[in-house]
Amino acid sequence: MLHAFVYAATMPGGRPCGPRGPTYIVDAADIKDDRAVLLEQWNLARLGGQFAEDSSCLKWLAARSLIANSVQCPTCGQPASLTLNRSCADSYGWKCRDCRFKKAVRAGSFFEHSHLPLNAIVVMMYCWAVNMPQTFVSREAGIPESGHTVIDWCNFFRDEAAKYVDNRLQQIGGLDNNNQPLVVEIDTTKYFHRKYHRGTWRSGHWVFGAIERGSGKCVLVEVTNREAQTLEREIQQHILPGTHIVSDGWAGYNNIQQIAGGIYMHDVIIHQHNFDNPDIHIQNVKNMWMRAKRTFRRQCWSSRALFPTYLKEFAFRYSVGQNGVFSNLILGIAESYQL
């Protein structure tokens, strides 16, 4: 049962005014903050148990701020009631009985423009988060493989991951809690070009990458070239002042210590002297490139126009870690729609 809150005021003459019945889906105390969402561990079996009834599905979504927990009537200003309505897709809707105001429970949310069941969309979210093939996503969500439904939703999830990167992962590095510089490794690489004079010639995509040691937070940005002016602009945009930057000996990095009057420390890896200081290396960013290239060959080979969004999806997945993709996607969607 949804939690019931009865608005008991009356108008002169005894006629009830305002809405009657539940005016919110879950108690305010049951709405989870970011930390609580991040601590949750889900699998398909547990998710299925949460969605046995329409009401339990709404409670799960409202507790994570994915749909509105309450709605105010724009006419009288009173809380609308959550009423049973078997004719609508979600079995419940918001209604003000005095003003005839009605509103769908998914209105204004990430789910607003879809007629799919809410539980099916959440299952697709989870399947995308754990990187299931689209045929598996279709099967688990109960959606036919024919058509573009699953493809479209996977693109929607990727767009939300890109927003998360823009809102939360645009800058890395800086100082730690002890005011010591964090170490960020930087490098550039090229994707989808012909190598060793084999295959069809392609111009490819230059990508600037940076990864923060310890946290794994990363930035991947497509750039037009590897000139110093281009790379220094990306460094200033994505790496916080005070950072200890480690790079290879590419000439475009020569002036990093002079950027903005010296806001960065900079060390260069010299492979002949690699064993003199084991902390001066860029193995983390090299490992990131290896994983990214393996991923992009599978994802982007037939849709290179989406390459920038695939870069952000990879940065999102790599930064939050395999076990954090679903929970951080929930947080990103909730942040985007601010219900």
Give tens-digit pLDDT for 47-82: 989 988 889 999 999 999 999 999 999 999 999 999
Mean of per-residue pLDDT scores for the chain: 87
Please report how many Cα atoms fall inside a 13 Å half-sphere around the Cα of residue 182, on the Cβ side: 21
Residue 178: both structure tokens together: 């002890």
Q: What's the DSSP call for residue 14? A: S
From 20, 106, 90, select the one nearest 56 (Cα to Cα).
90
Give tens-digit pLDDT for 220-255: 999 999 999 999 999 999 999 999 999 999 999 999
CA 157 – CA 160 distance, rounded (Å): 5
Give tens-digit pLDDT for 260-292: 999 999 999 876 555 556 778 899 999 999 999
Question: What pLDDT does residue 270 have?
Answer: 74
- The amino acid sitting at 297 is R
Question: What pLDDT does residue 263 have?
Answer: 97
Q: DSSP string covering 52-115, please?
A: SSHHHHHHHHHHTTSS-S--B-TTT-SBPEEEE-TTSTTSEEEEETTTTEEEETTTTSTTTT--
Note the residue count of the chain.
339
- How is domain 172-333 classified at the CATH fold level? Nucleotidyltransferase; domain 5 (3.30.420)
Expressed in angstroms, the distance from the first to the final Cα of the chain is: 23
Question: What pLDDT does residue 100 have?
Answer: 87
List helix spans (H) across 169-306. 228-238, 283-300
CA 139 – CA 134 distance, rounded (Å): 9
Measure the CA angle with vertex 174, ends 170 and 175; round to 5°. Answer: 145
Q: DSSP string covering 138-158, please?
A: HHHHT--SSSSHHHHHHHHHH
**Domain-wise residue ranges, the chain:** 28-111, 172-333
